[in-house]
Amino acid sequence: MARRLNTEVYALYLAYRDPRTPLYARIFTACVVGYAFSPIDLIPDFIPILGYLDDLLLIPLGIKVAIGMIPPEVMRDCREKAHTMFPNGKPVNRVAAAVIVLVWLVLAILIISQVLRVVLQVF
């Protein structure tokens, strides 16, 4: 099942780049693929029970929704390409990785600035 899920993620990776995929599906699929390939989780894995919740529920649910948004003929073509293009490895998208890191940095800066604002108001 894990291999099939990997193949689906690779197919989605190809589908979000396919011009036949609608814009709304491209945006959602890019987010799902970026999150699936990201080493940064929404909920860190070291948190008991909840840590693996995103891996067990959010990613498969996102994949299912994304597949439903993409035309069936596009998914069929992309699954075939995924089997031939990525038999042993994952695709690398440095732009998506950079965007994910940038989003996390911006969130961290916003959180730290809010905490500092509260701390400074107390003193």
Distance of CA 5 to the CA centre of its chain: 13
pLDDT by 10s per residue, the chain, length 123: 556 777 888 899 899 999 999 999 999 999 888 888 777 776 777 777 777 777 788 888 999 999 999 999 999 999 999 888 766 555 556 777 778 788 889 998 999 999 999 888 877
Find, among 21, 20, 3, the residue nearest to 82 by Cα: 3
Residue whose C-alpha is closest to residue 65's, from 36, 99, 107: 36
pTM comes to 0.63
Rg (CA), the chain: 17
CA distance 29 to 9: 9
Cα angle for residues 54, 12, 50 (degrees, 5° grid): 0
